[in-house]
Structure formats: structure tokens, C-alpha cells
Amino acid sequence: MGAREGSHRRQRMAAPDRREAILDAAEALFTARGWDRVTIADVLGAAGISKGGFYHHFTARDDLLAGIVARMTDRALAAARTARDRSGGDALARLNAFIAGSLRWTADNPDASRLQAEILSRSGNEILFQRVFDATSALVRPALAEMIAEGVEEGSFDVADPALTAEVIVGLAQGRRSALARALGEASAGRPEAGATVLEARMVAEGMICDRLLGVAQGSVALSSPTEYRRIFAGLAAAPAGADVIDGAPIPPRRA
């Protein structure tokens, strides 16, 4: 829907609904065109929201993008919790099911993966990267801390402070950016398998660190999933026309 048409249907709505309408419009536009090619005016027109209504919820486009990524993270966490709740076994089995559910959701939603990859892999976006990281980690940390605490209570994990341990584990993702950029560089050059291999090496190392933090045997935390990584990078290779570069390198065109 164009900006002119959207502006004709502006209506009063509750603040939470208005925020969701803004995020819906922005997510659709960012996915279709790429982040750099969408303005706040485009979002206002598509959502049928006034400028005042927008700035009641977001102070800038970066805040809007952080909100979109946080909402995507929330959806991934919902899928992860469902997988965890369906899993039997001890806390370690539930944690691995949680991780697998999150990765599966990411692989099943390539548009979300492309949007996050476009933003987080580009050089010069350090402030935005930190803002997005803070927004997503605020959602992930409590869920992880809860699972770790359950594992401590049942004797599966040997951890002194579940909340601090969760903070350290989530913090590993902050240093993942360079590996992700290298992996995306491989994918953008038409080598998605190589990209998956780069990310897998990083995640295997992080998994070994998680094993030590949780006091479990090496190889216990299944943080890496080569199958899902290949699905994710195959989805990234099918980029829409508007998002045709990653970190300055062309992405192969969308397959028919």
C-alpha cells in the first residue's frame, strides 16, 4: 500500500496497536526494499500513522529497526519455548531443544534472517549493532537464566549464579559479529556452504565455552547446527531486489 492510500485511512488506535502497526509496515518495507532504501516517511504512509504517533513510540529509524529485530527475536523465542516444552529429559535436553527450536525458526523465516544480516554485517553500524544487541539480549537473558536455574535445581548444571552465567553466554553473541560478517561475505560471493562452515566453527567454539560454564561434559550443549546453518545461508542467498548488497558485496539474485 502506498503512502497516499495509507494516509487516508489514519484512525485512532490504542498505543500498543499503533506500535504494532508501525512495526508491521516497517518490517514489510525493510524486507522488500532493504533498510537503507526506506525512510520514516515511507513507514508513516504505509502504516497510516501521523508523525506525532510515530515519535510517541520511536525516536529514530534505528530505534524502529531495533524494535523489529526484538520482535523477531521474541517470535524465535516463542518457537524455542514450544520446542523446549515438548522435549522430555533433563534440563540439558530441554536447553538443546530450545536452541534447536530457535535455529529452526530462523531457517524457516529467511526474510527475518536477511534483514538482520543486512544490518548487523555492515561496517560503520557499531552503534546500531549495539542497540539491536541490547534489545535482543534483554529478551534472551531471562529465558536462559530460568533454564539454567532449573538445571541447577535438578543437578544437571553446576553453576553458582544462573543470571550471571546467562549474561556471559549471551555476551558471546556480541563478539560473533566478525565471524558473521565473514560468513555472510562467503554467502554473498555465491558460497553459502563456506559461509555455513565459518559460522559453524564459531558456534562449536562457543558451545565448548557453554559446556564449561554450565559444568557439563564437552560436546553437551548443541549450540551448532550445520543443517540449519545451510538452510539459513541458502535463504540469505535468495535476496530481494532491494537488499542487493551485504557489506559492499553483491548477493546472488533471488532464485525463481
Q: Considering only residues 187 and 253, tell me which one the structure prediction assigns the higher pLDDT.
A: 187
53 HSE (CA, 13 A, CB side): 23
Q: Considering only residues 61 and 250, tell me which one the structure prediction assigns the higher pLDDT.
A: 61
Nearest of 180, 224, 221 to residue 203 by alpha carbon: 224
The secondary structure of residue 35, as a DSSP letter, is: G
Please write the tens of the pLDDT for every residue from 224-252. Answer: 999 999 988 887 766 544 444 333 333 33
Residue 18 has pLDDT above 80, yes or no: yes
In the chain, % of residues over pLDDT 70: 85
* Cell of residue 204, nine digits: 562449536
Please write the tens of the pLDDT for every residue from 69-109. Answer: 889 999 999 999 999 999 989 999 999 999 999 999 999 98
Q: How far apart are CA 112 and CA 26, in angstroms?
A: 12
Q: Considering only residues 93 and 63, tell me which one the structure prediction assigns the higher pLDDT.
A: 93
Residue 198 has pLDDT above 80, yes or no: yes
Residue with cell 497510516: 48
Q: How far apart are CA 104 and CA 241, in angstroms?
A: 25
Cβ neighbours around 118 below 10 Å, total: 25
Instruction: Calculate the average pLDDT of the chain.
Output: 84
Q: How confident is the model at residue 223 (pLDDT cuts 50, 70, 90)?
A: very high
Q: How confident is the model at residue 255 (pLDDT cuts 50, 70, 90)?
A: very low
Q: How confident is the model at residue 119 (pLDDT cuts 50, 70, 90)?
A: low
* Cell of residue 41, nine digits: 516517511
Q: Which amino acid is at 155?
A: G
pLDDT at 23: 93
By CB atoms closer than 10 A (0-12, 13-18, 19+), residue 65 is buried
Residue 2 has pLDDT above 50, yes or no: no
Residue 252's alpha-carbon distances to 79, 185, 238, 239, 249, in angstroms, are 29, 12, 7, 7, 10
Contact status, residue 37 vs residue 12, Cβ threshold 8 Å: no
Please write the tens of the pLDDT for every residue from 121-138. Answer: 666 677 878 888 888 899
Residue with cell 554473498: 188
Q: How far apart are CA 182 and CA 44, in angstroms?
A: 35
Alpha-carbon dihedral sign for residues 175, 181, 40, 29: negative
Q: How far apart are CA 238 and CA 84, in angstroms?
A: 30
Q: Considering only residues 241 and 171, tell me which one the structure prediction assigns the higher pLDDT.
A: 171
Q: Which amino acid is at 242?
A: G
Lowest-confidence range among 13-27, 141-155, 164-178?
13-27
Nearest of 101, 105, 112 to residue 143 by alpha carbon: 101
pLDDT at 124: 65
Q: What is the mean pLDDT of residues 190-215?
A: 94
Contact status, residue 220 vs residue 182, Cβ threshold 8 Å: no
Question: Phi and psi at residue 162, in whole multiples of 5°?
Answer: -60, -40
* Cell of residue 79, nine digits: 518457537
pLDDT at 238: 62
Q: The whole model's pTM is what?
A: 0.81
